[in-house]
């Protein structure tokens, strides 16, 4: 993946981006043996030989460990790696000795909420590019209460300085004691000061703004000012397609089954005891009229000289276990 040279130099830990830009302009950086002195030039460290002051930096880039932090940014911090005005930076909130990382996207100086910091360019590109693959959720408090026509205008999109700004979803949350309104907004794009400029356009300025979710990541359990490392599963989910959770699939499969489940354990033992009791009662009583008749067994052959002969009109003798067999068949057929 190609990245800007000043970003690669900074990722190798040699200098800040601003200092790397100065090195590039002074002709101290080469790519595949050619001097590159144009800012914005890109290279792929997996395929291009990048040298700074004659030294190859590819090994340093290959050895760097990818790290991912989730920060609940407070107000009064700048989403940048440096500031000429010496204002507090979001990197000041990271653990001591943390590798060099950059913020993924930006939050305004007076905006709080979730911010990812990493040295992984692939994740940065995936999270920041426009589209519905990684929605950002915000809670915003505005001055006064916009009317239905103003809210509809926000939903349609507002053109500001020739650029269209859109909100993917807008939901009212609650009203404060001073008749100010809270809303939950979902954005699929991230333009500079987008939310503040849109509400200014309808005459209701933003009083408070915080980002509460980035894709599948939320601020649950992460107080303002706190930071934590993302788990490998949380990182991987950004790169994998969403699938139905196994528990949902199991519920759907269970809903499609018909009939009662087969008993097991104690339930199965109780069923056997009840069946034995029923068989005993049925063996001692005649079959009910509603029960299905059982075809009598075939008569034994009488052609042999030693075969017993029964008197005319009398039924042949039945075996002693005939009644129990009949009862079992009746119980089986009636169940």
Catalytic residues: 108
Using the Cα atoms of residue 282, residue 287, residue 293 and residue 299 in order, give the sign of their dihedral. Answer: positive
Closest-CA residue to 128 (of 76, 78, 187):
187
Phi, psi values for residue 29, rounded to 5°: -120, 135
Q: Return d(Cα 93, Cα 218) in angstroms, integer.
A: 19
Contact criterion met (CB below 8 Å) for 12 and 119: no
């Amino acid at each position: 993946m190609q990245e800007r040279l000043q970003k690669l130099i900074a990722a190798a830990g040699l200098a800040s981006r601003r200092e790397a830009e100065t090195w590039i302009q002074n002709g101290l950086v080469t790519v595949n043996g050619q001097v590159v002195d144009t800012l914005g030039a890109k290279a792929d460290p997996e395929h291009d030989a990048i040298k700074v002051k004659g030294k190859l930096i590819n090994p340093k880039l290959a050895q760097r460990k990818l790290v991912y932090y989730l920060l609940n940014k407070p107000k009064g911090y700048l989403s940048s790696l440096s500031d000429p005005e010496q204002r507090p930076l979001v990197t000041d909130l990271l653990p001591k000795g943390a590798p060099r990382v950059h913020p993924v996207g930006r939050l305004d100086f007076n905006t709080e909420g979730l911010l990812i910091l990493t040295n992984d360019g692939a994740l940065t590109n995936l999270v920041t590019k426009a589209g519905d693959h990684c929605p950002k959720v915000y809670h915003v408090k505005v001055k006064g209460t916009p009317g239905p026509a103003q809210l509809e205008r926000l939903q349609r999109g507002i053109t500001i300085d020739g650029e269209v700004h859109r909100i993917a979803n807008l939901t009212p949350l609650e009203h404060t004691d001073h008749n100010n309104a809270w809303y939950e907004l979902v954005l699929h794009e991230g333009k500079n000061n987008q939310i503040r400029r849109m509400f200014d356009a309808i005459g209701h300025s933003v009083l408070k703004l915080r980002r509460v979710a980035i894709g599948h990541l939320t601020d649950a359990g992460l107080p303002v000012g706190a930071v934590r490392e993302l788990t490998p599963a949380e990182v991987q989910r950004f790169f994998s397609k969403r699938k139905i959770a196994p528990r949902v699939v199991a519920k759907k499969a269970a809903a499609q089954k018909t009939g009662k489940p087969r008993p097991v354990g104690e339930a199965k033992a109780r069923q056997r005891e009840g069946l034995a009791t029923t068989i005993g009662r049925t063996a001692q009583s005649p079959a009910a009229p509603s029960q299905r008749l059982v075809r009598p067994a075939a008569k034994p052959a009488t052609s042999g000289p030693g075969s017993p002969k029964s008197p005319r009109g009398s039924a042949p003798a039945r075996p002693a276990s005939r009644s129990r067999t009949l009862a079992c068949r009746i119980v089986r057929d009636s169940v």
